[in-house]
């Protein structure tokens, strides 16, 4: 297939534009095409004319049914004609058996009613495809722009029906006036042999005229799809570029050779030998001169070749090294299985392998996406923990405070021993004794510590940062909840004031006040405890 010799302009066309190309092709090679068609169909025309009774339509049907057979050589002819090699009628008809008797048989049986017959004929006639490959080829060609093939079949059928009547009407119109003949009588009654002849001739002429156009338009559709699919236009463009380059090179070499001849002529004329030329000659002498015999493969070379092959077949070139690297498990959890499957299924078809490859790719992408998703989730959790760290800290503190309430009572608070064991049995008496011994601070401290112990044991929540006044205020706030009566609160308030004075102001309370506090401690705190 020489694309350079194409008789038509090669470019991708729309389907309907391709039909125009088919019309032009039919017009250009109309008579050669018509000759082939007539030659093949003429026997059947004779049979139709001579067949008796004339009313029998079997010859017409057979003639119509065998039309694909008459059209096949036209496709051969067009296939060669577009490449500038228009075959003769004889050559075209001779190529008919090459399509294959079986394919011709199929064309005349169940493919006969195919509406895309004009386009598909080239696949059998020119490409010689059969079976599944033919089906795939047809699917490819029909994937775009096959509908005009259907329409030209429909239109051709209509024209073949109408044209004979039109031709009969024309003949009737041309009859001399002295011939008395009613046109309606032609279609009434038993047809005479003359009528049969006229009818068959009209039908035959119409079929003969439409056949080249029908075949050429189908072929043009086929050709256009080939141009689109195989990019003939691009190939031709490249070839033209190559041709231009070759022509240019040829032109340049011609100029160079001409210039060289002129230069040599001038040098001979003036008998000047350039030094560079002398050097070149000397260098050529220094080059090793090989004889034809030396360049031929001798026995040593053959031995070397055999040695090389032996070395290549040795163990050094067939060592198999297995390397193991650490990889994420979930990335390749199925790798081993996949490898085993691959070993088992080496004979699988390419389609299965392709699907499997795609599945592994998607599997890898999915694994990567999963990892990224986990990274995002962990990052989000860390971000939320950081953002709400203060709220969480407060909540945790509250949770710990609640836990503290549920826990056993603490043994120390603010560095104070607040267990029952750390305090004397009789707080009031002990404090009074300390006061009387002159240890005023120790006495008041004992009372205050014992009071706090009582409160904490009752469930009072006190933080480390609480001052004495805050402890008192908290006690007042939780008095109802902790069942602390007003007497206790008043005692604690008074004790707190005295404690603050002695602790921070270094002011020792009066004897009456201190003694009163010592004496009132037991009745205030112990009585209720014993009741409980």
Partner 1 sequence: MTDSDTTPNSNSTPSPAQNSFEKASTFTQAIITEIKKVFVGQDDIIEQVLVALIGGGHVLLEGVPGLGKTLLIRSLSKCFGGDFSRVQFTPDLMPSDITGHAMFNAAKQEFEIRKGPIFTNLLLADEINRAPAKTQAALLEVMQEGQVTIEGESFSIDSPFMVMATQNPVEQEGTYPLPEAELDRFMLKILIDYPSAESEFAMLAQMSNQNSAGNFNLNPIKTLMQGKHIEELRSIAKRVTIDDEVLNYIVKLTRATREWSGIVRGAGPRASIALMSASRALALIRGAEFVTPDDVKQVLLPALRHRILLSAAMEIEGVNTDEVLRDISISVEAPRH
20 touches partner 1 by CB under 8 A: no
Q: Which stretch binds partner 1 (CB under 8 A): 5-13, 203-211, 474-482, 498-506?
A: 498-506
Judging by beta carbons within 10 Å of its beta carbon (0-12, 13-18, 19+), is residue 48 exposed, middle or buried? buried
Counting other chains too, the contacts that 52-56 makes at CB distance below 8 Å and 24 or more residues apart are: 52/193, 53/190, 54/190, 54/191, 54/192, 54/193, 54/195, 54/196, 55/190, 55/191
**CA–CA distance, 454 with 483 (Å, rounded to integer):** 12
The CA distance from 119 to 18, in Å, is 12
Angle ∠(148,150,154) on CA atoms, nearest 5: 115
Closest distance between partner 1 and the C-beta of residue 481, in Å? Answer: 21
Q: Is 466 in the site for partner 1 (CB under 8 A)?
A: yes
What is the closest distance, in whole angstroms, from the C-beta atom of residue 493 to partner 1 in the complex? 13
The least distance separating partner 1 from the CB of residue 380, rounded to whole angstroms, comes to 17
For partner 1, give the closer residue by CB, 91 or 439.
439
Only one of the segments 6-14, 107-115, 337-345, 496-504 lies at the binding site for partner 1 (rule: CB under 8 A); that segment is 496-504
Closest CA to 455 of 432, 435, 431, 477: 477
CB of 445 to partner 1, least distance (A): 5
Among 470, 490, 523, 527, binds partner 1 (CB under 8 A): 470
Does position 390 bind partner 1 by CB under 8 A? yes
Query: How many whole angstroms separate alpha carbon 319 and alpha carbon 314?
Result: 9
Residue 220's nearest CA partner among 21, 12, 9, 3 is 21
402 binds partner 1 (CB under 8 A): no
By the 10 Å C-beta count (0-12 exposed, 13-18 middle, 19+ buried), 224 is classed as: buried
What is d(CA 517, CA 495) in angstroms, rounded to the nearest whole number?
7
Q: Does 511 sit near partner 1 (CB under 8 A)?
A: yes
Question: Minimum distance from CB of 505 to partner 1 (Å)?
Answer: 3
Binding pattern to partner 1, positions 158-197, x when CB under 8 A?
----------------------------------------
Q: Name the residue nearer to partner 1 (CB basis): 155 or 429.
A: 429
Q: Of 248 and 389, which has the nearer Cβ to partner 1? A: 389
Does 505 sit near partner 1 (CB under 8 A)?
yes
Nearer to partner 1, 5 or 412 (CB): 412
Mask 407-426, x = binds partner 1 (CB under 8 A)?
-------xxx----------
Nearer to partner 1, 109 or 467 (CB): 467
Q: Please, what is the minimum distance in Å from the beta carbon of residue 504 to partner 1?
A: 5
Return the number of the residue (397 or 527) whose C-beta is nearest partner 1: 397
Contacts of 365 (CB under 8 A, 6+ apart): none
- Alpha-carbon distance of 370 to 331, in angstroms, equals 10
Any residues with CB less than 8 A from the CB of 459 and at least 6 apart, and which?
405, 481, 482
Question: Minimum Å distance from CB 479 to partner 1?
Answer: 20
Which one of residues 508, 520, 526, 528 is an interface residue with partner 1 (CB under 8 A)? 508
Q: How many CA atoms lie within 13 A of 381 on its CB side?
A: 5
Give 259 or 393: the residue with its C-beta nearer to partner 1.
393
List b or e across 448-479, with b for residues whose CB sees 16 or more CB atoms inside 10 angstroms. Answer: bbbbbbbbbebebebeeeeebeebbebbeebb
Instruction: Please say which residue, 8 or 503, places its beta carbon nearer to partner 1.
Output: 503
The answer to whether 504 contacts partner 1 (rule: CB under 8 A) is: yes
Those residues whose C-beta lies under 8 Å from the C-beta of residue 509, and which sit 6 or more positions away, are: 440, 444, 498, 501, 502, 517
Binding mask 434-463 for partner 1 (x = CB under 8 A): xx--xxxxx--xx-xx-------------x
Question: CB within 8 A of 11, min separation 6: which ones?
Answer: 227, 233
Q: For binding to partner 1 (CB under 8 A), which residues are involved? A: 387, 390, 414-416, 434-435, 438-442, 445-446, 448-449, 463-470, 500-511, 514
């Amino acid at each position: 297939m020489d694309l350079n010799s194409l008789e038509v302009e090669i470019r991708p066309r729309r389907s309907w534009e391709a039909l125009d190309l088919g019309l032009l092709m039919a017009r250009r090679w109309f008579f050669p095409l018509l000759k082939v068609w007539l030659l093949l169909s003429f026997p059947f025309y004779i049979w139709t004319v001579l067949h008796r009774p004339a009313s029998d339509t079997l010859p017409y049907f057979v003639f119509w049914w065998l039309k694909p057979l008459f059209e096949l050589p036209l496709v051969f002819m067009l296939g060669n004609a577009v490449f500038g090699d228009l075959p003769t009628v004889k050559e075209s008809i001779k190529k008919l058996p090459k399509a294959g008797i079986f394919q011709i048989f199929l064309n005349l049986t169940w493919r006969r009613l195919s509406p895309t017959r004009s386009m598909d004929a080239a696949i059998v006639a020119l490409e010689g495809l059969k079976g599944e490959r033919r089906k795939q080829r047809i699917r490819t060609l029909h994937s775009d722009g096959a509908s005009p093939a259907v329409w030209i079949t429909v239109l051709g059928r209509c024209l073949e029906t109408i044209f004979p009547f039109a031709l009969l009407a024309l003949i009737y119109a041309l009859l001399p006036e002295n011939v008395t003949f009613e046109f309606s009588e032609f279609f009434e009654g038993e047809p005479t042999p003359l009528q049969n002849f006229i009818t068959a001739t009209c039908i035959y002429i119409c079929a003969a005229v439409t056949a080249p156009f029908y075949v050429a338009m189908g072929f043009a559709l086929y050709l256009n799809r080939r141009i689109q699919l195989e990019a003939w236009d691009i190939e031709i463009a490249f070839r033209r570029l190559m041709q231009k380059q070759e022509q240019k090179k040829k032109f340049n070499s011609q100029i160079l050779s001409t210039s060289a001849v002129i230069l040599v002529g001038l040098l001979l004329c003036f008998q000047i030998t350039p030094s560079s030329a002398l050097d070149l000659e000397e260098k050529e002498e220094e080059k090793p001169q090989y004889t034809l015999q030396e360049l031929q493969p001798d026995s040593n070379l053959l031995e070397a070749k055999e040695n090389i092959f032996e070395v290549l077949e040795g163990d050094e070139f067939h060592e198999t090294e297995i390397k193991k690297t650490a990889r994420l498990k979930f990335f390749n959890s199925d790798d081993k299985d996949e490898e085993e499957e691959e070993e088992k299924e080496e004979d699988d078809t390419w389609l299965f392998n392709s699907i499997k490859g795609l599945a592994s790719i998607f599997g890898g992408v999915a694994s990567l996406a999963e990892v990224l998703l986990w990274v995002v989730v962990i990052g989000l959790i860390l971000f939320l923990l950081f953002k709400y760290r203060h709220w969480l800290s407060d909540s945790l503190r509250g949770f710990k405070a609640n836990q503290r309430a549920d826990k056993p009572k603490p043994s120390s608070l603010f560095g104070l021993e607040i267990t029952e064991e750390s305090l004397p049995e009789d707080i009031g008496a002990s404090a009074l004794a300390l006061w009387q011994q002159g240890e005023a601070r120790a006495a008041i401290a004992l009372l205050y510590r014992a009071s706090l112990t009582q409160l904490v044991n009752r469930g009072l929540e006190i933080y480390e940062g609480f001052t004495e006044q805050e402890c008192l205020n908290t006690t007042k706030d939780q008095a109802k909840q902790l069942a602390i009566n007003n007497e206790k609160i008043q005692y604690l308030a008074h004790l707190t004031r005295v404690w603050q004075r002695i602790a921070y102001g270094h002011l020792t309370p009066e004897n009456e006040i201190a003694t009163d506090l010592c004496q009132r401690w037991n009745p205030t705190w112990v009585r209720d405890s014993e009741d409980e």
